[in-house]
Structure 1
Amino acid sequence: MRWNEAERNAQVVGARERLPFLSEDQLDDRHFEAMEQLRVLYGYPEGMPLAPFFATLAHSPEFFAGYIDLGVTASIRSALPARVRELAILRTGWLHGAPYVWGEHVHSSRDRVLSSEEIERITQGSQAEGWDELDRAVLRAAEDLHADSMICDETWDLLASHLDARQLLELPIVIGHYVTTAYVQNSLRTRLTDNNPEGLATR
């Protein structure tokens, strides 16, 4: 799928957020324990306010804590190589027209894990020229799951020639986590952060 970036950005984040942010005096111990994981993961200074998405997600303390725990696990405890993980996340974010997911991961991966040219190519998907076998299989896994809620045999066999059992298990979990993220952020019309001013853009 090729989104019209400006139209999709306007649709998802061009309108007012659907839920208010919670302030820190409305948070409890469950929130603060989860927030500490975020602070350590991203190197946030102590006392830094919650990003818009997390300040909205905090309406549900239980889901807030569980979501952050899975996100931290996917980011720093996963056995997947960083390149595989970011290819999967970015393709998922693009397929779901998710400005927040896409823009945040473009910002965090560009020139660290992926080049600008590769990020542009992710929007074209697994059929674009220039991918190696593993890259193409990872992109196809995200596409298979988006289209049919399962990774097809051909894609799985390609993945299995490069990834071990733990990595094969974790790949659809990571993709699924970011599908959930796209659903929630898009539905809440979550405001973009300063690191992500353009949403669905590749440059």
Structure 2
Amino acid sequence: MPWDAAERTKQVTGARERLPFLSEDQLDERHFAAMEQLRVLYGYPEGMPLAPFFATLAHSPEFFAGYIDLGVAASIRSALPDRVRELAILRTGWLYGAPYLWGEHVKATRGKVFTPDEIERITEGPEAPGWGELDRAVMQAADDLHSDAMISDAVWGVLAQHLDERQLLELPMLVGHYVLTAFLQNSLRSRLTENNPAGLAAR
């Protein structure tokens, strides 16, 4: 990639956020309905304050609610297997140099979905040795979408041997959602959470 992990993380997260957070007394019923989905999705206790990234997105109630709806669908309603979903998310986060996205999903999947060695190999891409056919195709799909805005025929053919029609539809939608997430978090200069201190250096 054209960036060093530590330098990219510093570039994105080393400055102040570009927009202020909204406090809870500035939120309306649309915000709170979306926040309840987040609480259930991540198992947050009731009354837990809104994370800074989401408190910034709340400047647009309509987009906030729509973004959360799609994120919840991608996380808990998708037909994609966990490994396929997280492989696509992590590869996308790496391709777009998104410290917040990358670090959060490394933290969530290391030792559960992927080994530390596999997480390291995600940074190397689909050509790294050791990937199975489906893993390689999922990462190549993310690479294709990044470079050409479409999945190539050859990669689609491999994916179609492993995924059904619903899953094939959801894969580019999932990647698109996390491209949007990378755009938002990088452009807003979203700070890393306490549980994600390393950003792109997380392995």
TM range (shorter): over 0.9
How far apart are residue 201 of structure 1 and its match? 1.4
Instruction: Tell me, yes or no, if the aligned pair for 1:2 and 1:124 is still in contact at 8 Å.
Output: no
Distance in 2, matches of 1:2 and 1:183, equals: 17
Alignment of 1:18-57 (within 5 A): 18-57=18-57
Instruction: Tell me, yes or no, if the aligned pair for 1:85 and 1:171 is still in contact at 8 Å.
Output: yes
Distance in 1, matches of 2:42 and 2:108, equals: 11
Instruction: Tell me, yes or no, if the aligned pair for 1:2 and 1:123 is still in contact at 8 Å.
Output: no
Residue matched to 2:147? 147
How far apart are residue 6 of structure 1 and its match? 1.1
Distance in 2, matches of 1:78 and 1:200, equals: 26
Provide TM-score, normalisation by structure 2: 0.99
Distance in 1, matches of 2:3 and 2:78, equals: 30
Structure 1 unmatched runs, 5+: none
Distance in 1, matches of 2:105 and 2:71, equals: 13
The aligned amino acid for 2:161 is S
Instruction: Tell me, yes or no, if the aligned pair for 1:80 and 1:167 is still in contact at 8 Å.
Output: yes
Structure 2 unmatched runs, 5+: none
The aligned amino acid for 1:166 is R
Q: Do residues 93 (structure 1) and 93 (structure 2) align?
A: yes
Instruction: Tell me, yes or no, if the aligned pair for 1:16 and 1:189 is still in contact at 8 Å.
Output: yes
How far apart are residue 195 of structure 1 and its match? 1.4
The aligned amino acid for 2:105 is H
Q: CA RMSD in A?
A: 0.7
**Percent identity of paired positions between Structure 1 and Structure 2:** 76
Instruction: Tell me, yes or no, if the aligned pair for 1:120 and 1:202 is still in contact at 8 Å.
Output: no
CA offsets per residue over residues 139-159 of structure 1, 9 Å max, x none? 000000000000000000000
Provide TM-score, normalisation by structure 1: 0.99
Distance in 2, matches of 1:194 and 1:169, equals: 35
How many residues align? The count is 203
Structure 1 segments (4+ residues) deviating >4 Å? none
